[in-house]
Amino acid sequence: MDKYSLIPHLNELYNNRIKDKAPTKSNFFAWQDKKRKELTKLLTVEKLSILKINEKKDKKEKNGYVVVQKDFHLSDGTVMPVYFGQANFVKPPFRPIIIYHGHADGAQTLFGYGMTKKFQNYAEEFMKRGYLVIAPDQRGFGNRLGSAPIIYNGYTRSCRQLAFNLMLHGKTILGERVSDGFALVDYLGTRKDLDLEKIIVTGNSGGGTVAMLHAALDKRVSVSMVGSAFCEYKHSIMDLSHCECNYVPGLLNHFQEIWQVGALVAPRPMLII
């Protein structure tokens, strides 16, 4: 290996990461409570209130499904566009599933709209099975761009610059996305036409990361499905080139690896795809 390479230094840092003892059966839930608090602080997740909700008048309909956009005005001064989609044949109580899109042209991609061809109509698979799909535009994509947006694979994103901006303020973009998710679940709790016995969150790639973190911190989430996101940090975002919005400063000072983060979801089921 090149004597100037920094890889040995990085490997040493990784090998010297936190080595706390694995929780036992008797102290597992206490360990979870402690680690949830640590993860909440690392991600800088905060409580967001919904100030008002505006529903767009134009609805998109195709293949027997209807998609409506609602704008959630949040207490941090941001507006979160959320797409609600369901099949025409479905009657209440509706079964909710929150889908977090990955690096794409916003949540509209999940319904077959927008520029991104990958993962199109992902939401349709759930709608045709009777679910009410709730899909927010994640920060840095779709309508929610920040400074210095770039065009990548045919769509516009600003997640990289947004992540750096937030770091300067001691915040993380993943934490802000999870905060949005908490606000969405708060909203679901106000509706009388939903079956809230089972709230599901899912996502693919970057959306899978947010789905796992949301489920890890929010015990109101009953089931989570994590696609193309659950892999050791060492063999994914540490050794391979990834978007900056995947990183949480100091995470390996509190968690041995991604499996300890995932353990915060237990005993609720989590499907890893």
Percent helix, percent strand, percent coil in the chain, to nearest 5: 35, 25, 45
Q: Are 155 and 104 in contact (CB under 8 A)?
A: yes
pLDDT-derived band at 31, boundaries 50, 70, 90: very high
Residue 132 above 90 pLDDT?
yes
Judge if the upstream peptide bond of residue 267 is cis by omega within 30 degrees of 0: yes
User: Which ranges of the chain does DSSP label H, i.e. alpha helix?
Assistant: 7-15, 28-43, 122-127, 159-168, 173-188, 206-217, 258-262
Q: Please give the DSSP secondary-structure letter assigned to residue 14.
A: H
Q: Which amino acid is at 110?
A: L
Q: Is 122 helix (H, G, I), strand (E, B) or coil?
A: helix
pLDDT-derived band at 114, boundaries 50, 70, 90: confident
pLDDT tens per residue across span 157-193: 999 999 999 999 999 999 999 999 999 999 999 999 9
Note if the pTM is more than 0.95: yes
Residue 273 above 90 pLDDT?
yes
What pLDDT was estimated at residue 120? Answer: 65
pLDDT-derived band at 238, boundaries 50, 70, 90: very high
CA distance 119 to 113: 11
pLDDT-derived band at 117, boundaries 50, 70, 90: low
Q: Which amino acid is at 149?
A: P
Listed in sequence order, the residues at least 6 apart from 80 whose beta carbon sits closer than 8 Å to its beta carbon are 71, 72, 74, 136, 137, 144, 180, 183
**Strand runs (DSSP E) across 19-158, as ranges?**
50-55, 60-62, 65-74, 79-87, 95-100, 131-136, 150-152, 155-157
Structure tokens at 264: 């915060």
pLDDT-derived band at 58, boundaries 50, 70, 90: confident
